[in-house]
Amino acid sequence: KKANYIKHALREYNIHKALDHPRVVKLYDVFEIDANSFCTVLEYCDGHDLDFYLKQHKTIPEREARSIVMQVVSALKYLNEIKPPVIHYDLKPGNILLTEGNVCGEIKIT
């Protein structure tokens, strides 16, 4: 079971490492912490995720929501157009980072 997990994690690492899009968080490195765990080094985003924002504010103005959706679509379009295409599998508000901490700026998906 552990060998399967390691194989899956390495596959995800190799896919993520090759991604290069302004709306996708960049993966810089991965290293082993001990025999049972590892750590990834990702691009720093100075802000919260959309889930945190929604819990604090409850709603988003339509203009900002539209901007977020269009940026997410841009990232998903990129993932679909690369060869082979990549399926995110876990797109949710907690994986949409607000790079400036508010809904008026740029987002990145993790």
Catalytic member of 20, 34, 46, 90: 90
Phi, psi torsion values for 91, nearest 5 degrees: -80, 120
Query: Active-site residue 49, yes or no?
Result: no
3-state SS, the chain, equals: CHHHHHHHHHHHHHHHHHCCCCCECCEEEEEEEECCEEEEEECCCCCCEHHHHHHHHCCCCHHHHHHHHHHHHHHHHHHHHCCCCCCCCCCCHHHEEECCCCCCCCEEEC
The owner of tokens 């157009």 is 81
**Residues labelled catalytic:** 90
